[in-house]
Structure 1
Amino acid sequence: MKNLTLLLTVLFAFQFSNAQSECANVEKALQKYMEGSSYNKPEMLESAFAENATLYLTKRDGSFNRYSPKEYVGFFKNAEKGKFNGRDAKVLEIEVTKDIATAKVEIAGPERKWVYIDLFLLKKFENEWKIISKTATRIDGPNEKSVLLIVSNAHYYGDTKLNTGNSFSEIVNAYDVFKNAGYTIDFLSPEGGAVPLAYINTSDEMSKKYLYDTDFMNALKNTKSPSEINVSKYKAVQYIGGGGAMFGVPENEAIQNIVMEIYEEHNGVISSVCHGSAGIVNLKTKDGKYLVDGKDVSGYPDDFENKDKPYFKTFPFLIKETIEKRGGTFHFSESGKPHVEVDGRLVTGQNFLSSKLVSLKVIELISANEE
């Protein structure tokens, strides 16, 4: 029985790994389509399609037409090659069955003045996936309000093999608040791509709801890297907690620049929850001062860390200690209670219980900015 269990485990792991690999290969074909169409690269765009692929698209006059790949690529040939044309693309969903696959991609224009959902049928030819059919539809009511949730790629505490990740509870609570308020939510990580998740409780209705939401989970599988971010579209950012938040994010200068540009150039809101407050300790304003200097701040306090545990010894710095050294006043309540601090356009929360409250306050500040 033990041997059978081991065999089944190995087979499942192999199948899962193989499925993940095929999804990644499908995404390569989609990336050719997205980059080729967004940056006016006709050769790259055409290489995403099988030679005899068929595209079914609706023209502006309402007529439904069939196009070949060459005809479709022709739409982009007169534009400046290599220049971003405002088409912001992201993969929403991929499903693979042996040598065929379906995929869904969102294409949004500047400030989301228009949004399309592209639906693809792909097939594997020898060792390469190609698009064999595509259609698209425009979504009514384009959404110009976007927020950026910042997550970590760290799977382990420091250089150890102690597992860590991003707090699933904090992610889903923030996501749900912003989504219900009509916002578009993007995920940003230092490296982009899939991120590790921690503290998943399927007995929690909110967590269960999003764990089985294909579009949501695919967004976490395809987080944006800093180079993919169009800063002008975001009204706010939120640093997500979990042990992984201590690694890779706080020292990432590209993320720091994105966040401070949103804050200073676009009057945006910066927020963080729990260990996510590690992400704000290195932020500096244009005059060289630390963002937290002179501000009331919260986050997961050093006082509640288990200092005898191996995980704690991997921390590159302490959140409360660093914030106080850099001029901030750190506030927190007793363990297991929500606590939120608001200082101007900086909103911080103590723990996962504060996630919803922080997000609601962010929306309130965004609304006040627009009045």
Structure 2
Amino acid sequence: MKHILFIVTSTNVTGTGNHAAGYEFSEIADPYFEFVNKGFAIDFASILGGEPPYVGYDPKQQTSKEFIEGNGFKRLNFSHKLSDIDVSAYDAIFFPGGLGLMTDMVDEPRVKETIKNTYENNKIIGAVCHGPAALLNVTLSDGSNLLEGKKINSFTEAEEKIDGHTLGDVIPFMLDEELIKQGAMFYHSKPFEPYVIVDDNIVTGQNPASASGVAKKMIELLT
């Protein structure tokens, strides 16, 4: 059995306007069922441990409703503290999006070390929407930046504008711009259309509609 660690934000506000933040609910629920329905084991970790904050729950989304009523959500709400986890025990790590992640994972040393070790041990890294913010500022053992020359995508500036995510008040930076600054080759589709890209052992998806697609590509790589 393959084991996957979901790494989740612990931040519940974002921007100077102190807007509600956390993980985007469907970006955990949708991949969770893709993985468990294929026999994968899922654990949850967050920066602080315990109950991570979330936004965007929609009871009309069937997978979200099933997740919030099931054991997965109960286990998520007792998430492990990332610093207490031996990440080498996992075959893959996955970063669901949500604006909170743009605050607590961009420079967090444990996150950087986790990504570096996972990548260098040829294990799988997945991230969706704002999740690729976790991939910023990762220095590999040879001194290079993880993102240099990698095909990557994430939530785009166009999507931020449609959602009214203004710089400063809501988001600390434009994620696509920062990924490009660190050497990523940025690919994207039209706003809010599913889009997933794979480069070596890194899988990234553009937006909430891409979350299941990221999980499916990770499953392909893991099997």
**Common topology (TM > 0.5):** yes
Partner AA of 2:84 in structure 1: E
Equivalent residue letter for 2:34 = V
Query: What is the percent sequence identity of the aligned residues?
Result: 33
What is the alpha-carbon distance in structure 2 between the residues aligned to residue 160 and residue 195 of structure 1? Answer: 20
Partners of 1:157 and 1:311 within 8 A in 2? no
Bigger-Rg structure (1/2)? 1
Q: Tell me the distance in 1 between the aligned counterparts of 2:165 and 2:119.
A: 36
Q: Residue 346 of structure 1 corresponds to which residue in structure 2? A: 202
Describe the superposition over 1:66-112 as per-residue Cα deviations: whole angstroms up to 9, x where unpaired.
xxxxxxxxxxxxxxxxxxxxxxxxxxxxxxxxxxxxxxxxxxxxxxx
**Is the 1:249–1:279 contact (alpha carbons within 8 Å) kept by the matching residues of 2?**
yes
Q: Match of 1:153, as an amino acid?
A: S
Q: How many pairs are equivalent?
A: 222
Q: Does 1:363 align with 2:216?
A: no
Deviation by residue 1:143-192 (Cα, 9 ceiling, x = unmatched): 4x211111111111135431112111010111111111111111121111
Residue equivalent to 2:126: 271
Provide the residue aligned with 2:19 in structure 1.
Answer: 162
d(CA) in 2 for partners of 1:304, 1:310 = 9
Q: For 2:16 and 2:190, locate their aligned partners in 1 and report how far apart those are by CA, in whole Å.
A: 31
Partner of 2:110: 254
SS in 2 for 1:312: coil
Q: Which residue of 1 aligns with 2:153?
A: 298
Give distance in 1, aligned partners of 2:166 and 2:107: 19
User: Which residue is 2:57 aligned to?
Assistant: 200
Please state how far the C-alpha of 1:336 moved relative to its aligned partner. 2.2
- 1:289 aligned counterpart, secondary structure: coil
Distance 1:233 1:329, change over 3 A: same
Q: Which amino acid aligns with 2:90?
A: Y
Query: Which amino acid in the other structure matches residue 149 of structure 1?
Result: F
1:226 deviation in Å? 2.1
Which structure dedicates a bigger proportion of its chain to strand?
Answer: 1
1:3 corresponds in structure 2 to: none
Matches within 5 A, 1:25-40: none
Name the CA distance, whole Å, in 1 between partners of 2:36 and 2:127: 18
The Cα shift of 1:312 comes to 3.2
Gaps of 5+ in 2: none
Conserved? CA contact 1:306–1:312, under 8 Å: no
TM-score w.r.t. length of structure 1: 0.57
Match of 1:280 in 2: 135
Distance 1:355 1:307 in 2: 19
- Cα shift at 1:231: 1.9
Q: Deviations over 1:214-258 (max 9, x none)?
A: x21222211111222112211111111121121101211112112
Q: Taking CA–CA contacts closer than 8 Å with sequence separation of 6 or more, which of the two structures ends up with the larger relative contact order?
A: 2
Q: Structure 2 length normalisation: TM-score? A: 0.93
Secondary structure of 2:192's match?
Answer: coil
Q: Is the 8 A contact 2:176 2:186 kept in 1?
A: yes
